[in-house]
C-alpha cells in the first residue's frame, strides 16, 4: 500500500508540474486577502493580540485559508478521473484501494504546505513579525499538513458519493468562506458575537488557526499548539477513514 501510494503520489505531482498555472491560481485569493485586509484594517484594528499588529494576527488565518482553498477542491479532479474511466482501470489492477485515495490526499496536503510557505514569504515582505526559526516553522507546517489532509479527504469523499460536479462545487464553496468567517482567523474570540463564538468552538478551522498562531506569533504557546494539533489529528484521521470507506463503497 505504501509503495502504491508513493508511485501514485509521484504521478499526481508530475501532473501538477505540467500545469503550474492551476497551483498559482489557487494562491490568488489568499494573497489578495493578505494584501487588502492587512492594509485596510491595520489602523482600524488596534493590537488584537498582546502588543502585536493586525498583520501578525492575520497571517496564520491566511495560511489556513490557503490550505482551505487548496484542499477543498481536491475532489473535482478525482470526479473527473471517475468520469473519464481512469479510476475503473485502477480498480481492476492490483493497486491498493487505500492508496488510490491516500495518494491524492497526500498530494493535495503537500501542495498546500508549499503554497503556505510562499504566502509566508509575501507576509514577511509586508512586514509580518513571525517566529520563523526551523522548529516553530516545522510545527506550524505539521498543523497545515493535517488540515490539508482532512479537507482533501472530505472533498474526495463527497466527490465519490455525489458523482456530480455541481453539488461538489457547492459543497466546496460551503467549505471555504463560511468556515473562515466562523473561526478566529480574522478576529479574536472576544470580538465575536456570542453565537459565532459558540460555532467557532466546533469549527476545526479555529483549532488549525490557533495552533499555527501559537507557534508563529509572539511567545510560543505549546499547550495551545498541542491541543490544536490533537484536534487536527482526529479531524484528519476521521475524514480520511470516511473517504476510504466511501471509495470502498464505490468499488462494491
Residue 152 within a domain: yes
Q: What local confidence, expressed as pLDDT, does residue 45 receive? A: 54
What's the pTM?
0.86
Q: What local confidence, expressed as pLDDT, does residue 94 receive? A: 80
* Lowest-confidence pick of 34-38, 72-76, 98-102, 103-107: 34-38
Contact criterion met (CB below 8 Å) for 131 and 217? yes
Residue 49 within a domain: no
Interatomic CA distance for residues 152 and 108, integer angstroms: 7
Q: Which domain holds residue 146?
A: 2-16+64-251
Q: What local confidence, expressed as pLDDT, does residue 25 receive? A: 67
Q: What's the sign of the alpha-carbon dihedral 53, 54, 57, 60?
A: negative
Residue 167 within a domain: yes
Residue 153 within a domain: yes
Residue 111 within a domain: yes
pLDDT tens digits, 168-184: 878 877 778 788 888 88
Q: How high does pLDDT run on average in the chain?
A: 83
Residue 118 within a domain: yes
* Mean of pLDDT values over 222-246: 93
Q: What local confidence, expressed as pLDDT, does residue 161 receive? A: 86
Q: Which three cell numbers stand for residue 3?
A: 509503495
Q: What local confidence, expressed as pLDDT, does residue 228 receive? A: 94
Number of domains in the chain: 1
Amino acid at each position: 500500500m505504501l509503495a502504491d501510494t508513493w508511485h501514485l503520489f509521484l504521478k499526481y505531482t508530475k501532473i501538477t508540474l505540467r500545469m503550474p498555472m492551476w497551483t498559482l491560481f489557487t494562491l490568488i485569493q489568499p494573497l489578495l486577502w493578505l494584501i487588502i485586509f492587512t492594509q485596510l484594517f491595520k489602523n482600524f484594528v488596534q493590537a488584537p493580540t498582546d502588543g502585536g499588529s493586525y498583520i501578525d494576527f492575520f497571517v496564520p488565518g491566511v495560511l489556513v485559508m490557503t490550505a482551505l482553498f487548496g484542499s477543498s477542491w481536491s475532489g473535482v479532479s478525482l470526479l473527473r478521473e471517475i468520469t473519464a474511466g481512469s479510476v475503473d482501470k485502477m480498480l481492476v489492477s492490483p493497486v491498493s484501494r487505500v492508496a488510490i485515495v491516500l495518494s491524492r490526499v497526500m498530494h493535495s496536503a503537500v501542495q498546500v504546505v508549499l503554497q503556505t510557505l510562499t504566502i509566508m514569504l509575501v507576509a514577511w515582505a509586508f512586514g509580518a513579525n513571525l517566529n520563523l526559526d526551523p522548529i516553530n516553522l516545522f510545527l506550524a507546517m505539521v498543523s497545515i499538513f493535517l488540515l490539508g489532509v482532512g479537507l482533501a479527504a472530505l472533498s474526495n469523499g463527497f466527490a465519490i458519493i455525489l458523482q456530480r460536479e455541481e453539488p461538489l462545487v457547492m459543497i466546496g464553496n460551503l467549505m471555504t468562506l463560511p468556515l473562515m468567517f466562523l473561526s478566529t482567523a480574522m478576529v479574536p474570540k472576544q470580538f465575536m458575537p456570542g453565537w459565532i463564538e459558540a460555532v467557532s468552538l466546533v469549527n476545526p478551522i479555529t483549532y488549525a488557526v490557533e495552533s499555527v498562531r501559537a507557534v508563529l506569533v509572539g511567545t510560543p504557546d505549546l499547550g495551545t499548539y498541542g491541543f490544536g494539533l490533537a484536534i487536527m489529528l482526529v479531524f484528519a484521521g476521521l475524514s480520511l477513514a470516511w473517504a476510504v470507506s466511501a471509495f470502498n463503497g464505490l468499488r462494491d
